Amino acid sequence: MAKLKRKKFKRSTGVKHDIIIKIGNFELYFENIYSIYSLINDLLIGILFIGGSLVSLLDGPALLGQILYFIGSIALILRPLIKIIQNTHVYRQRNEDKKSQIEEEISKKIKEEEKEEE
């Protein structure tokens, strides 16, 4: 049976989630959960369009084929949305970070003023 394990490690801006699926002597490693979402979405798109094609080729109900194509088209729209969500990060700035940022700005201004006086 496959075992699912999540690995967490700190990044400079937050925590990143990796997924490792162990199957016997093999490990499937996904950089993060959005990689799995994207792969599942791609498989779903393929299945839906193959289903729609088979219904059309075998003279099945036209409405069923159109529904499968429509759902597949919606899944195609989800693909870039998953990528956008994957690459969008929102971090809350800590008070310490704000203090150090303000200190850096003040020291830059002081250096600029000293250069202007010379």
- Hey, is 89 helix, strand or coil? coil
Amino acid 58 reads: L
pTM, 2 dp: 0.50
**Contact between 34 and 46 (Cβ < 8 Å):** no
Q: Per-residue confidence of the chain (118 residues) as pLDDT tens digits? A: 667 666 665 544 444 567 777 888 887 776 677 777 888 888 999 999 999 998 888 988 989 989 989 998 998 888 888 888 777 766 555 666 666 777 788 888 888 888 777 6
